[in-house]
Structure 1
Amino acid sequence: MVKIRQVLLTALCLLPLTTQAVRIEPASGGHWSQASQKGENRVLTRQVPGTAVKEVKLEAVINAPIEQVWTTISTVDRYPDFMPYVDAIEITAQESSERAYVYHKVDPPLVSQRDYTLLIVNEFDEQTGEYYRYWTQMNQFGPEPKRGVVRLEICDGSWALSPREDGRTDVVYWVYTDPGGSIPAWLANKANTIGLYDILKAVEKRAQDLSWQDKTE
């Protein structure tokens, strides 16, 4: 069962940000089923009790060093430049260098725009050289809902990066989200599964050439 954590919050306009979020990650145990495979990369899904929307997980190898992959996925303000369907990004609050609240607006094909605000947390293990990045929905720290844009209420996920001896990067990308609106569950599950390969391709291409870091907006 997915860990949908309850987080104690104080009003952003009244007190400093002091949220203590439980680490977001896939629950241990449970049966994952392989949905598809492309070369070394595969997508798995798992049923979530009480809902028709499934968790999805991508296990992949990115042909770039781990530091470059991490730079790519952690530079969230540049997502509109390369990440599929991301239309706008706004960092609404910064608790620390490793914790931020980030508003996203996405423009997926065939359906209306979606938006949501996430708490994003970055972690690094110096002993193993592994990186972990997780997020959960925190719409109360973002702008008010917009007319014509569907507000997502469920959006948990993570990136787990591990270095390989051959210089490449092992990646596990996990997400549990409901696209909302009138999209049927079977279509949401299909879209979530297919979309992971698009994200993988975009991140790999970006990580292989970090010349974009030297370019000004």
Structure 2
Amino acid sequence: MRHALGTALLLTLTLAASWAFANDEKLAAGEILVETQEVSGSDIPRMIVTGVIEASPADVWKIVSDCGNYSRTMPRIKESRMVSRDGDTVICETVVGLPFPLSDLRSTTTATHTAGPVEWRRQWTMIEGNYRFNEGYWSLKSFNGHDNRTLAVYSVYAAPEGSVPDWMRRRAQESSMPGVIEAVREAVAK
């Protein structure tokens, strides 16, 4: 019995390591990975997108920490404004443009900023808006020890108020998520 458990554990660890290695290879080649993560007690998953950006985490941080310019750097953001900053706490307002007949999504969020040097992180929650909930984070780290390559992880758990069917919301999120990493790649290259 102990031998079988040991073998099962070894097999599990080997599979996990090979999965991580395969993902690292995909990321190193420029692929953008999108995954959903179930949230306990919710039928709405957390969306996570991961990609490598050819710049240092500090340079990428200049883009993702500047919510006042999201209308210029992030897809589908029609309006953005930094309301206030108090130390590491930043209050932002954004308007996400949606196609007709849907109404645009508005939110005011509070974010905590942690600026490196190991991890640059922006973690937000909604204060008010026309979402049922809206929270998430950006995490930026050096990719595989390369100071000029950033492993960027963008995670969002959000659902608009109203009658947007879950399948439509999920499809829109899954199809638009890679565009967030692509937009940051473009912005940091300018």
Q: Distance in 2 between matches of 1:113 and 1:134?
A: 23
Q: Retained in 2: the 8 A contact 1:136–1:156?
A: yes
2:17 maps to which residue?
A: none
2:186 aligns to what SS in structure 1? helix
* 1:175 Cα deviation after fit: 0.7
2:72 maps to which residue?
A: 81
Instruction: Determine whether 1:189 maps to 2:170.
Output: yes
Structure 1 length-normalised TM: 0.68
2:103 aligns to what SS in structure 1? coil
Supply the AA of the counterpart residue of 2:180.
I
2:96 maps to which residue?
A: 106
Q: Which has the larger radius of gyration?
A: 2
Supply the AA of the counterpart residue of 2:138.
W
Residues 46-125 of structure 1 mapped to structure 2, 5 A cutoff: 46-96=37-87, 98-110=88-100, 111-125=102-116
- How many equivalent residue pairs? 161
* 1:89 Cα deviation after fit: 1.8
Instruction: Determine whether 1:157 maps to 2:146.
Output: no
2:167 aligns to what SS in structure 1? helix
Q: Distance in 2 between matches of 1:95 and 1:180?
A: 29
Q: Retained in 2: the 8 A contact 1:116–1:153?
A: no
Q: Retained in 1: the 8 A contact 2:58–2:120?
A: no
1:179 maps to which residue?
A: 160
Supply the AA of the counterpart residue of 2:58.
E
Indicate the RMSD between aligned Cα atoms, in angstroms: 2.1
* 1:91 Cα deviation after fit: 2.6
Structure 2 length-normalised TM: 0.77
Give aligned-pair identity as a percent. 25
Where is the strand percentage greater, Structure 1 or Structure 2?
Answer: 2
* 1:178 Cα deviation after fit: 0.3
Instruction: Determine whether 1:134 maps to 2:113.
Output: no
Supply the AA of the counterpart residue of 2:137.
S
2:19 maps to which residue?
A: none
- Larger CA deviation: 183-192 vs 48-57: 48-57
Supply the AA of the counterpart residue of 1:47.
E
Q: Retained in 2: the 8 A contact 1:90–1:102?
A: yes
1:212 maps to which residue?
A: none
5+ residue gaps, structure 1, are: 1-36, 140-144, 146-150, 210-217
Q: Distance in 2 between matches of 1:82 and 1:92?
A: 18
Supply the AA of the counterpart residue of 2:155.
W
Q: Retained in 2: the 8 A contact 1:80–1:86?
A: yes
Q: Retained in 2: the 8 A contact 1:84–1:202?
A: yes
Q: Distance in 2 between matches of 1:125 and 1:168?
A: 14
Residues 203-214 of structure 1 mapped to structure 2, 5 A cutoff: 203-209=184-190
2:182 maps to which residue?
A: 201
1:168 aligns to what SS in structure 2? strand
